[in-house]
Amino acid sequence: MDGYVLHEITPLMENDALYIADRIKKEFSYPVHNHDVFELNFVEHAAGVRRIVGDSSEIIGDYDLVLITSPILEHVWEQHQCRSEEVREITIQFQFGMGDDDIFFGKTPFASIRRMMVEARKGLCFPMSAIMRVYDKLDTLSKVTDRFGALMQFLDILNTLSHCEGVRTLSSSSYAKVNIEDDSRRILKVKKYINDNYMYDLRLKTLADLAYMSESAFCRFFKLHTGRKLSEYIMDIRLGHATRMLVDTTETVAEISFKCGYNNMSNFNRIFKRKKGYSPTEFRNSYRKIKVIV
């Protein structure tokens, strides 16, 4: 990865609804970047490209569709092992759809889109089944000459995607600096406690007591509600904070390991590499950055 994060100033003007770039390219050369506007990015015929969003790093297949709605979340599509001579990339940037106070998009018909936009602060990756449902509309969007028609077609794409199954977030909440939200007060209370105390030894009894449940009942309840084992959730929170510290501070790996609840540095290195595919030092070297405003 290039050695800096570019804060992109996009062509989207204040009174514009959409900026659409539809292009054929042979390589990915744009550096890791972020931007204030929201972005839906579609890539076709790009197997072997490495997609990095926050602390997520994945090699993509022939098709990739990602929505990002955070101004601070770094992302990049790197050439990596892609050999395609005709990669197609469609980038759509926009500035609407977040917040209940929005005079239009705060209305009930847009509720599913708003929920999707909130989740996309961590980056959302859509499965092939979702891509196929919107492919025709994505494919023709840049050819729609009527601005109103283009906006309506894009809203239809967002609405369809907001109802698709199999959508998954990319970056961890702690790395993306996203506030913890949940529809269960007991789970929310536990999650907040974990986020506030991830640097300490977290005991199952303490967490179960917060939920007023026995340890065994709490473990089942947590897995049922979140889809993850408690130990996996704690690990992801700790590693999210660790990756953010590796990027944003000059503290040593040993110091970061200790501050993220790992008293054994070799254990931290092993877990980090297993989950991220890099050692902490390799991750830091690939992500070292100097912020540039253009």
Task: Judge whether residue 3 has pLDDT over 50.
Answer: no
pLDDT exceeds 70 at position 289 = no
- Residue range 35-62: mean pLDDT, rounded: 94
Mean pLDDT of 262-284: 89
Average pLDDT for 114-139: 95
Q: How confident is the model at residue 92 (pLDDT cuts 50, 70, 90)?
A: very high
Taking alpha carbons only, the member of 60, 181, 187 closest to residue 127 is: 60
pTM for this model (two decimals): 0.72
Would you tell me how many other CB atoms lie within 10 Å of the CB of residue 215?
A: 14
Residue 101's pLDDT is 54
* One-letter amino acid of 177: K
Residue 292: per-residue pLDDT: 35
* Res 154: pLDDT: 97
d(CA 137, CA 40): 13
pLDDT tops 50 at residue 13: yes
Res 27: pLDDT? 87
- Whole-angstrom CA distances from 47 to 59, 64, 132, 255 are 8, 9, 17, 38
Q: How confident is the model over 164-199, as pLDDT tens digits?
A: 999 999 998 888 877 666 557 888 889 889 989 999
Class of domain 5-169: mainly beta
Residue 125 forms beta bridges with which residues? 66, 168
- Could you tell me which residue, 182 or 107, shows the higher pLDDT? 107
Matching residue, tokens 């509720």: 111
Q: Give the model's confidence band at 46: pLDDT under 50 very low, under 70 low, under 90 confident, else very high.
A: very high
Domain residue extents for the chain: 5-169, 182-293
Tell me how far apart the alpha carbons of residues 132 and 20 are, in angstroms, rounded to a whole number.
20
Please write the tens of the pLDDT for every residue from 231-255.
999 998 999 899 888 877 889 999 9
Q: The domain 182-293 belongs to what CATH superfamily?
A: Homeodomain-like (1.10.10.60)
Residue 118 CA to residue 97 CA, distance in Å, equals 9
pLDDT band at 291 (very low <50, low <70, confident <90, very high): very low
pLDDT confidence band for 38 (50 / 70 / 90) = very high
Q: pLDDT band at residue 150, thresholds of 50, 70 and 90? A: very high
- Is pLDDT of 6 > 90? no
